Structure 1
């Protein structure tokens, strides 16, 4: 099982690094590149650079709140 854990960890690390690199290039470097440059076709419009992380954070907070609420309700039922 150790090899599978290492493979999953390596895959998650590569995915995280590639997403970080893509987002960093998109937000920090791309605004300084000319609008007619070919590299712009590989990236979404700049508005999504804020919209995507904010919506992902809101969804994460909603799911976390629902999970905590369900756990609290289940633990309350066990006590009664």
Structure 2
């Protein structure tokens, strides 16, 4: 695979071979959907979701500790809340 840089966006692009459902691909073509853009958007969404899952897993102990503190002691500086 050869990487190229888009002249308009300046983002490096790399060709990738993917297998797609034939019927879905045909419908996308009829609807004039840019398959590369749709695939990239879907991949970006999947990467963001996986990053979020990882972050939660990596920080679960700290989050649980913080929640336990608030459960036991209440919110810090709660007396200064205006709502």
The TM-score range, normalised by the shorter chain, is 0.3 to 0.5
Structure with greater contact order relative to length (CA < 8 Å, sep ≥ 6): 1
More helix by share: 1
State TM-score, norm by structure 2.
Answer: 0.42
Of the two, which has the highest radius of gyration? 2
Q: Would you tell me which structure has more strand in proportion to its own residues?
A: 2
TM-score by length of 1: 0.43
